[in-house]
Structure 1
Amino acid sequence: MVAGSRLRQIGWAVTLAMCVALFAALTFKVNSVRSEVRLAERQILALQREKVLLETEFETRASQQQLAQWNAVDFGYQAPGPGQYLEGERQLAALGEPRLPAAPKPIRVARAPDTGDEPHFPAMVSPLTGKPVKAADDAASLADKLADGGAFLAEAGQ
């Protein structure tokens, strides 16, 4: 009876091992098929994008032909020739017309006189204390106050 029980346990262990092996093989197969499906979906999307691009190109070329036909029959436009380009501002100014008497005056921009001195800016004021801030002198003292932990904030509250 002990030998039969032992044989039954081995049978169950072999059956369980086979089930685990089949489950693992099935999982790998499902994952490989899923990867192939994703790859196929990506290829489909790429082909759809290419199709849209080709359709747009076709429609653009068709409209270019239509525009060329309209230009030949109705409009008669031509590409600019070398004689149509200007060589500088003087030629451009020569094309201008004098202002009419009823035309509005040109807009002028106000400028401050240039005295040669550096511009004067108001002193920076701390939003916490309301006192003027010295940039270079207070840099070291500000670092010291921040290192103290709360002395700077306690001073600012006064």
Structure 2
Amino acid sequence: MALTFKVNSVKSEVRLAERRIVSLQQEKTILETEFETRASQHQLAQWNAVDFGYEPPRADQYLESERQLAALGEVPSHNAPSPIRVAQAPEAGRVMKYPEMVSPLTGKPVHNRVESGALAAALAQGGELLAEGGR
């Protein structure tokens, strides 16, 4: 009986030691990740100083409302060209024809509309139903 208690006590100590090992391994991983992150931040700061020259935003660069944003827009000068506007209206009696839908995988036209049950079956067979116009 005393031997059983001793064995259980040792097993419990082993489990506690294993949990502590796992905890320390997780902590080590977290510290390694933080170290790598800080090292990359240092590298990014060096690149920024040498190559890019970005600066953090200053307090006076923030806008407090949409009105401030709208005030930043410039009124076009008197000799500025008018903006380009494009519109198309169908002519009387003319039917607008849209280009045919084409499968991006096969390049074949998509002819049939597929119901959801047929679509599920087609997808189970490789999804060729739409590209081939139905089976």
CA shift for structure 1 position 88 = 1.6
Pair 1:93 & 2:70 matched: yes
Aligned counterparts of 1:100 and 1:27: Cα–Cα separation in 2: 90
Listed as ranges, the gaps of 5+ residues in structure 1 are 1-23, 105-158
The structure that has the greater radius of gyration is 1
Letter in 1 for 2:21: I
Equivalent residue runs for 1:61-100 within 5 Å: 61-96=38-73, 100=83
Q: Deviations over 1:92-113 (max 9, x none)?
A: 1233579944378xxxxxxxxx
Aligned CA-pair RMSD: 2.3
Aligned counterparts of 1:81 and 1:103: Cα–Cα separation in 2: 40
Letter in 2 for 1:56: T
Between Structure 1 and Structure 2, which shows a larger proportion of helix residues? 1
Pair 1:40 & 2:23 matched: no
Equivalent residue runs for 1:122-141 within 5 Å: none
Other structure's SS at 2:64 match? coil
Cα distance change of structure 1 residues 100 and 43 upon mapping to structure 2, 3 Å threshold? farther
CA shift for structure 1 position 38 = 0.4
Identity of aligned residues (%): 73
Cα distance change of structure 1 residues 41 and 90 upon mapping to structure 2, 3 Å threshold? same
Aligned counterparts of 1:67 and 1:81: Cα–Cα separation in 2: 20
Q: Deviations over 1:44-88 (max 9, x none)?
A: 010001000000010011001100100110000111112211132
Give the match for residue 27 of structure 1: 4
Q: Deviations over 1:128-150 (max 9, x none)?
A: xxxxxxxxxxxxxxxxxxxxxxx
Letter in 2 for 1:58: F
TM-score, with structure 2 as normaliser: 0.54
Q: 1:102 aligns with which of 49, 61, 85?
A: 85
Letter in 2 for 1:35: S
Equivalent residue runs for 1:48-59 within 5 Å: 48-59=25-36
Aligned counterparts of 1:56 and 1:67: Cα–Cα separation in 2: 16
Other structure's SS at 1:86 match? coil
